[in-house]
Amino acid sequence: MTDRRLAPLSALEQKVLWLASWTIHNANHLRASADGLKVGGHQASSASLATIMTALYFAVLRPEDRVAVKPHASPNFHAIQYLLGNQSRAKLETFRGYKGAQSYPSRTKDGDDVDFSTGSVGLGVAQTLFSSLVQDYVKAHGWAKDQPEGRMVALIGDAEMDEGNIYEALIEGWKHGLRNTWWVVDYNRQSLDAVIREGLWQRFEAMFRNFGWDVVILKYGKLLEAAFAEPGGTRLRDWIDTCPNQLYSALCFQGGAAWRKRLIDDIGDQGPVSRLIDSRSDEELARLMTNLGGHDLATLVEAFEQIDHDRPVCFIAYTIKGFGLPLQGHKDNHAGLMTPAQMDSLRQAMKIRSGHEWDRFEGLPVAADKLEAFLAKVPFAARGVRRHAAPKIAVPETLAWPAQAAMSTQQGFGLILNEIARLDTRFADRIVTTSPDVTVSTNLGAFVNRRGLFARESLADTFRQERIPSTFNWDFSPKGQHIELGIAEMNLFIMLSALGLSHSIHGERLLPIGTLYDPFIQRGLDALNYACYQDARFILAATPSGVTLAPEGGAHQSIATPLIGIAQDGIAAFEPAFVDELATIMRFGFDYIQRDGGDDPDESTWLRDETGGSIYLRLSTRTIDQPQRAMTPELARDIVNGAYWMRRPGPNCQVVIAYTGTVAPEAIAAAGLLSETHRDVGVLAITSADRLNAGWTAAERARQRGIHTAMSHIERLIAPLSRECGFVTVIDGHPATLAWIGSVHGHRLKSLGVEHFGQTGTIGDLYRHFGIDTNAILHAAQAVVAGRPVRYLAALP
């Protein structure tokens, strides 16, 4: 283990850090007539973290370290980046404005050096843990040899520790032998609405120690420690240690006179204690009583520098919310606003001239050249740009699988991965799979058998050693390519986020695949959204899906997930019916998740395919007959673009049946029956309602901006159809997924799908019950088509 401790800071450097701390935590609040003056939560929270962030960014962190900043500390973060030359004044001046610095640090929206996006509390915290596990994965495979191991650091609000995903992540970290992770808890004992309960720090300490973390309590600063050494100091310390959180916060707000009265009232005239208190003015007493560990730079730097190991560490740093501001300690300070008079007083105290709030060194008594020299040698910024760029992994032209006459898409998914696992290629080596305790039931078993499970230390499969027959070989080793997770879906999505950013964070590209049951996307939806917001790249295979999982009842049957696929930014959703479609989509997906081009759309589809993103595959366990056909370039293109004609409509088409996914047999059967009475029936196979809809809306926006020739894939496919042609759409999911297609060219349309939680039964039973069987499709066709009645109709149940 490399000793990362620093040489002692010089007196000048200590002074500069102190000045920087005070300047930074107030910089974003000294803007005359700026919108930021109304951001009370940012004012209070950023003030409480200012010294912690100063110690980390200007003294402790190295370029390889990565930080998830507490959401409300974004003003501090942006100000630090401004001092280091990574943030522009223009963006700071438009903080929270259009294209200005973001309210919460964002990898994709901010131009400064953001490691992990934050905002939805708890997620950035867990991200650091999983990013550390990914660093171990990369190192164990012998990659990134020229990159030193970095620490993954999270700055956490104590109220943020209420988030359940943090505790789920702690369990996973313990299971995988977490290293190189620091969590710094801003223990200001206030949440948005209240002061937190007494003794919470003891629960935190016990919990972290139980999971193998070191815990460092930073309660007192140097001023208080010195006072404790004075006669009567022990009694003062005892009073602080037993003071309720609410009272301490209230006294911080009230100031020195209130401190004096309360201390004398509670402790009484005890000679040494009274002299300790009386020897200080009200201002000095207030400064002493607010000198907590999280606001004392020397205490923080000393504590951080003493860590010379790779064990995970939780620092519990006592702070005061709103420290240094008139609203410090007040329970309402999250939404509190400083008055113009208070702002002016603060400006004067800091010696900031009106109109000079954005001068980098305004009000500081140290010469600008010395400050510039100090900033130039800050270790964290020593290497300039810290984001890595990793080369792309070549993807095979086609993905093979052993063809069978009848298969399910879930089965095909497993077979495709098994064939990839046979390959001795860089492509196969860079795939990493993960799943929340459903590895076997989502058909990853064959891949894991061939490629093994990952662990930093080898562990043989006991069942195999004991010669107990088993289908699966669960050997753990540093070269394994499957990361086993517990059942928490939040952990799955944050792990995928960490794996999907490895090319940028760790300098090594991975091709992550995660699997879970389709309905349980909703259990981890916040984390999935977070991963996409960070622009993490991965393939998500969700299976089984829909009411097609008939015997298992409503608990495992999904309805809304196709709508999630359409609505979720940053991920392209597909639902193939056949395995050749799946193989085509997966081949596209492995390339798509590596793209990082511009935002200009493809003018044939109006999709931003060069930008890339993640992939969502909604798969099924239903075995259906597979088409016997050649995969032409044209067919592959249409599959990827979202739809193709399974049965091309003739010139006099009266009805088109458009289906998605596993209801293909019902749609095809209905088309055959309709053909006996209606001409030129078309069958449209929709492989991605998401990409069809995105292309259609993008083309419409382009036309509004003057590009009158813009036409999307769905518009082009159905343009030849007469306006008298009717549409029936059908999906094992919410009918709104495809209902918009009637608006493309103004066709009459009936949408079939599932709107209520499933029942137990056979597939036939449930398709009839929810109206997505062949008979229901024929009834819908009768409703949208004028003319001859449809044959073979039975009464709907």
Q: How far is CA 609 from CA 317, 634, 786, in A?
A: 46, 17, 40
| pLDDT at residue 788 is higher than 60 | yes
Are residues 792 and 673 in contact, defined by beta-carbon separation less than 8 angstroms?
A: yes
Instruction: Note the pLDDT of residue 710.
Output: 94
Q: pLDDT band at residue 632, thresholds of 50, 70 and 90?
A: very high
| pLDDT at residue 628 is higher than 90 | yes
Residues 15-28 as b/e (b if ≥16 CB within 10 A, e otherwise) read: bbbebbbbbbbbbb
Q: pLDDT band at residue 40, thresholds of 50, 70 and 90?
A: very low
Residue of 657, 643, 649 whose CA lies nearest to 729: 657
| pLDDT at residue 28 is higher than 50 | no
Q: Specify the range with the lowest mean pLDDT, choosing from 168-182, 474-488, 592-606.
A: 592-606
| pLDDT at residue 697 is higher than 90 | yes
pLDDT tens digit sequence for 147-171: 999 999 999 988 788 888 999 999 9
How would you classify the pairing of strands 748-752 and 571-574?
unpaired
The DSSP symbol for 197 reads P
Written as six digits, the tokens of 551 are 């015997």
Written as six digits, the tokens of 142 are 């012998």
What is the model's pTM? 0.92
Residue of 346, 338, 277, 289 whose CA lies nearest to 318: 289
Q: Specify the range with the lowest mean pLDDT, choosing from 193-207, 500-514, 691-705, 771-785.
A: 193-207
Instruction: Note the pLDDT of residue 4.
Output: 56
| pLDDT at residue 27 is higher than 70 | no
Q: Which residues pair with 615 in a beta bridge?
A: 539, 572
Q: Specify the range with the lowest mean pLDDT, choosing from 257-266, 452-461, 474-483, 699-708.
A: 452-461
What are the backbone angles phi and psi of residue 662, rounded to the nearest 5°?
A: -70, -10
Instruction: Note the pLDDT of residue 1.
Output: 41
More confident call, 141 vs 371: 141
Q: How far is CA 450 from CA 81, 420, 427, 463, 468, in A?
A: 46, 10, 15, 17, 19
Instruction: Note the pLDDT of residue 472.
Output: 72
Q: For the chain, what percent of residues have pLDDT higher than 90? A: 63
Written as six digits, the tokens of 651 are 């010139």
Q: Which residue has the tokens 């366990």?
A: 621
Averaged pLDDT, 506-519: 97
How would you classify the pairing of strands 406-407 and 624-625?
antiparallel
Are residues 278 and 263 in contact, defined by beta-carbon separation less than 8 angstroms?
A: no
Q: How far is CA 566 from CA 492, 610, 699, 717, in A?
A: 21, 19, 16, 20
Q: Specify the range with the lowest mean pLDDT, choosing from 9-18, 396-405, 665-674.
A: 9-18
Are residues 188 and 290 in contact, defined by beta-carbon separation less than 8 angstroms?
A: no
Are residues 689 and 733 in contact, defined by beta-carbon separation less than 8 angstroms?
A: no
Residue of 640, 622, 624, 642 whose CA lies nearest to 632: 640
Q: Specify the range with the lowest mean pLDDT, choosing from 597-611, 640-654, 677-691, 753-767.
A: 597-611
Centroid of chain to Cα 769 = 38
Instruction: Note the pLDDT of residue 39.
Output: 38
| pLDDT at residue 323 is higher than 70 | yes
Residue of 546, 542, 516, 518 whose CA lies nearest to 663: 546
| pLDDT at residue 133 is higher than 80 | yes
Query: How close are the terminal C-alpha atoms of the chain, in Å?
Result: 70
Averaged pLDDT, 90-113: 85
Are residues 352 and 365 in contact, defined by beta-carbon separation less than 8 angstroms?
A: no
More confident call, 613 vs 469: 613
| pLDDT at residue 499 is higher than 60 | yes
More confident call, 476 vs 182: 182
Instruction: Note the pLDDT of residue 454.
Output: 95
Q: Specify the range with the lowest mean pLDDT, choosing from 34-43, 152-161, 268-277.
A: 34-43
Written as six digits, the tokens of 704 are 């509004």
| pLDDT at residue 371 is higher than 50 | yes
Q: Which residues pair with 685 in a beta bridge?
A: 644, 659
Q: For the chain, what percent of residues have pLDDT higher than 70? A: 92
| pLDDT at residue 50 is higher than 90 | no
Q: Indicate left, alpha or beta for 326 from its phi (over 0: left) and psi (-120 to 50: alpha).
A: alpha
Instruction: Note the pLDDT of residue 602.
Output: 83
Are residues 662 and 732 in contact, defined by beta-carbon separation less than 8 angstroms?
A: yes
pLDDT tens digit sequence for 170-223: 999 999 999 999 999 988 776 555 555 666 778 888 889 999 999 999 999 999
Alpha-carbon span 17 to 243, nearest angstrom: 31
Instruction: Note the pLDDT of residue 367.
Output: 82
**Sequence-distant (≥ 6) Cβ neighbours of residue 27 within 8 angstroms:** 75, 79, 82, 357
More confident call, 726 vs 604: 726
Instruction: Note the pLDDT of residue 30.
Output: 41
| pLDDT at residue 80 is higher than 90 | no
Are residues 539 and 510 in contact, defined by beta-carbon separation less than 8 angstroms?
A: no
Q: Is 654 exposed, middle or buried (0-12, 13-18, 19+ CB in 10 A)?
A: buried
More confident call, 134 vs 370: 134
436 prior amide bond cis, ω within 30: no
Residue of 787, 672, 794 whose CA lies nearest to 725: 787
Question: How does the average pLDDT of the chain come out, rounded?
Answer: 88
